[in-house]
């Protein structure tokens, strides 16, 4: 297990909950050098244009400071995806999140769709064929669904369920479907019982990680939601322990 990170992700680049001070530090503290940190590198504009329209990229570029960290997040996702193909799971400890960023629009604290950019780059390079995207964030990743609408080689699944039992039944069904060459995970921790969703327990994230690893394909994940700093770090650690 390797974790992709950059010190710039600790910068407070906006006023939304995803950009709040102390959020990334809470995860770093919980990991306690548990896994090696790999330095993220910025995505290129060519990378962004694999998913996003030029006018969308131009709009984000107008906010210079935000743009700099957003392209770094997209590059971190690319790095995590590339590392996963080497045979060991990888996690992008990145922000801003991305799953609400569509090709020509964005909302929900997202600017570029980090995971979608990473998946599409690997696809265009011929490194993967079929890709399964599993999104366990509290919120539906409309941006990711929009980015791959009409692309049969990429299957997007947002896990649902009004109870823990239904949630895990949905994940089990998802992983029992058509086999994929790569599993890409939008890892949102805002379903936790002490976060916005009020559903999952910390140990559930370790179970999620184990189930994803048992699928048998290369796996990479990127941070999406998760806003209670008091529990975010231990939830991320549980997920990574399960995935590792």
So which residues are the catalytic ones? Answer: 100
CA–CA separation, 90 vs 83, rounded Å? 6
Q: Which two tokens stand for residue 37?
A: 């940190």
Residues contacting residue 215 through CB under 8 Å, at least 6 positions apart: 132, 175, 183
CA–CA separation, 228 vs 22, rounded Å? 10
Residues contacting residue 168 through CB under 8 Å, at least 6 positions apart: 161, 204, 207, 211
Beta bridge partners of 39: 5
CA distances from 6 to 28, 70, 72, 97 (A): 11, 12, 8, 14
Q: Which two tokens stand for residue 175?
A: 């992983």
Residues contacting residue 7 through CB under 8 Å, at least 6 positions apart: none
Q: Please name which of 176, 182, 158 lies closest in space to residue 77, comparing C-alpha atoms.
A: 182
Q: Please name which of 111, 116, 118, 69 lies closest in space to residue 94, comparing C-alpha atoms.
A: 69
Beta strands in 52-199 (DSSP E): 90-92, 131-135, 154-158, 182-187
Task: Find out whether 123 and 131 touch, Cβ atoms under 8 Å.
Answer: yes
């Amino acid at each position: 297990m390797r974790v992709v990170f950059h010190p710039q992700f600790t910068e407070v680049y906006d006023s939304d909950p995803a950009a709040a001070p102390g959020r990334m530090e809470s995860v770093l503290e919980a990991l306690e050098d548990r896994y090696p940190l790999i330095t993220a590198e910025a995505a290129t504009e060519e990378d962004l244009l694999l998913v996003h329209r030029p006018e969308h990229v131009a709009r984000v570029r107008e906010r210079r400071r935000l743009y700099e960290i957003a392209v770094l997040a997209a590059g971190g996702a690319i790095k995590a995806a590339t590392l996963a193909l080497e045979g060991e799971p990888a996690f992008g400890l990145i922000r801003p999140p991305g799953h609400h960023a569509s090709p020509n629009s964005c909302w929900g604290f997202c600017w570029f769709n980090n995971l979608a950019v990473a998946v599409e780059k690997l696809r265009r390079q011929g490194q993967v064929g079929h890709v399964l995207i599993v999104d366990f964030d509290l919120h539906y990743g409309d941006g990711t669904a929009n980015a791959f609408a009409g692309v049969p080689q990429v299957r997007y699944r947002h896990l649902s369920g009004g109870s823990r039992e239904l949630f895990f039944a949905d994940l089990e069904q998802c992983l029992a479907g058509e086999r994929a060459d790569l599993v890409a995970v939008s890892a949102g921790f805002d379903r936790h019982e002490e976060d916005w969703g009020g559903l999952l327990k910390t140990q559930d994230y370790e179970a999620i990680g184990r189930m994803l690893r048992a699928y048998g394909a290369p796996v990479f994940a990127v941070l999406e939601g998760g806003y209670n700093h008091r529990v975010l770090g231990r939830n991320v650690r549980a997920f990574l322990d399960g995935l590792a």
